[in-house]
Amino acid sequence: MPFKSSKGKNNGKLIEISQSDRSNLGQNIGGGGGSAAPPGIALISATGGTETTVTTPTGKYYKTHTYLTAGSFTFSVSAAEPTATVNIEMVGGGGSGQAGYGDGNGPGIGGGSGAFSIVQNFPVINSPGSYTVTVGGGGGSTSFSGATFSGPTVTATAGGGGVGGQGNFSLTDPTGLITGTVSSGSANRFPPGSGSGPGPAYAGYSDSAFLYPTPLQPAGKGNGAGGGCPTCGPPPGSPGGMRIYYRVPAP
Amino acid sequence: MLKIKILVDIDSNISINFLKDLINHSNLPNAFSGECEISVSIKKSTNYDNLSFGYQLKNNNIIINEIEKPDPNTLYIRSDQEFIDIQLLELLSENDYELIFWCEESGKKSEEIFTFTSPSPYPTV
């Protein structure tokens, strides 16, 4: 359910910052001693997750923070220009399959995938600069385990896939600061399995949906159905995941 | 559904340890393809120095999957995550596999081989 909002477009322009200030800020940003950012790139210095620097074929530089472990973590922003934003890809945990019904030999149901969502131009600030990243574990047969990115102003959530269920996506933005696009992969309802057949890797996944060149596989993969084993339930789906990334100056 | 989890644990001396955990399995069709989850855990909190790792998965001496991390034009900086990488692979039940895993950092390279047999489908075990 994509939507665009132009509300609060000028909210970030509260502080003018000089080019010399940008040069000083750039020294500590981008994974180590970068130069000043080109015009149009708002500088950010942050830690958290598995951090990488990436050079694209077109010569742009990004810093990424990837979270693939289920649990609660912190994305810490120590410095950010007033208009600084990040892009976020998040996937809820995959649902478990369901064991076969009856004596266990009946057809089971494949686990649903976690919802996949992209939030572009998510505003970040450095005071307070602590954001909570929650990655849902693979769901059991009845539970949902979503992924959540929450900060001082905005919370985004990608729901996990339940057994036979759908993930979901929601964004709470009471300040209207989101000025970019929010895309939601509406969770695909997988076909019921017949003792096999996990849900797709992501709900709502498509190659064109990703802004970033490599997907967050295997986050959010639903698990296959059980069947024929009345005493052992199918294992849970894969945990969800999250990737936060933003442009940085050339190293 | 069958799922095997293989944790590749790399300590601060770039020593590689494998831990295999059969999570669960249930009745499977004859043409079953199971899943193998390879999770790479690196116990090192300081900054990485040109960290790279990868593996080959062989079945009957044929390479069926091969991966190298980080991706091209990407550099690991540091991580606070238990798992820096997770891969899901398709496996056949009751087959012998060989996982050849390597890791390199600061010019120090380690390589280990882990062999395992994928479990039998229920109820034949």
By C-alpha distance, which of A189, A186, A14 is closest to A84? Answer: A14
Give all domains of chain B, ordered by start, each with its CATH number.
2-117 (2.60.40)
How far apart (Å, rounded) are the C-alpha atoms in residues A74 and B84?
16
Measured between CA atoms, the residue of chain A closest to residue B122 is A229
Name the nearest CA neighbour of A233 among A135, A136, A95, A68.
Answer: A95
By mean pLDDT, which of A108-117, A140-149, A234-243 is the weakest?
Answer: A140-149
What percent of chain A is predicted at pLDDT more than 90? 8
Q: Tens of pLDDT along chain B (125 residues)?
A: 456 677 788 887 788 888 776 554 444 443 344 566 677 777 666 688 889 999 999 998 999 989 899 988 899 999 988 888 877 777 777 788 898 999 898 888 999 898 888 776 554 33
The answer to whether A187 and A112 have CB atoms below 8 angstroms apart is yes
Strand partners, A222: none
Q: Report the C-alpha gap between A60 and A54 in whole angstroms.
A: 8
Question: Which residue among B1, B3, B75 sits closest to A225, beta carbon to beta carbon?
Answer: B1
Tell me: the pLDDT tens digits for A19-33? Answer: 444 554 444 444 444
Distance, in Å, from the CA atom of A82 to the CA atom of B49, rounded to the nearest integer, reads 32
Task: Determine whether the interchain pair B26/A227 forms a contact, defined as Cβ–Cβ distance below 8 Å.
Answer: yes
Who wins on pLDDT, A136 or A243?
A243
Whether complex ipTM tops 0.95 = no
The DSSP annotation for A122-134 comes to EE--STT-EEEEE
For the residues A159-188, what does the mean pLDDT come to?
53
> Whose CA is closest to B102, among B40, B25, B48?
B40
Would you call B79 and A53 a contact, using CB atoms and an 8 Å cutoff? no
Query: Mutating which of A51, A66, A212 best tests the B interface, going by the most B Cβ atoms within 10 A?
Result: A51
Q: Give exposure, A207-239, as e/b (b: 16+ Cβ within 10 Å).
A: eebbebeebbbbbbbbbbbbbbbbebbbbbbbb
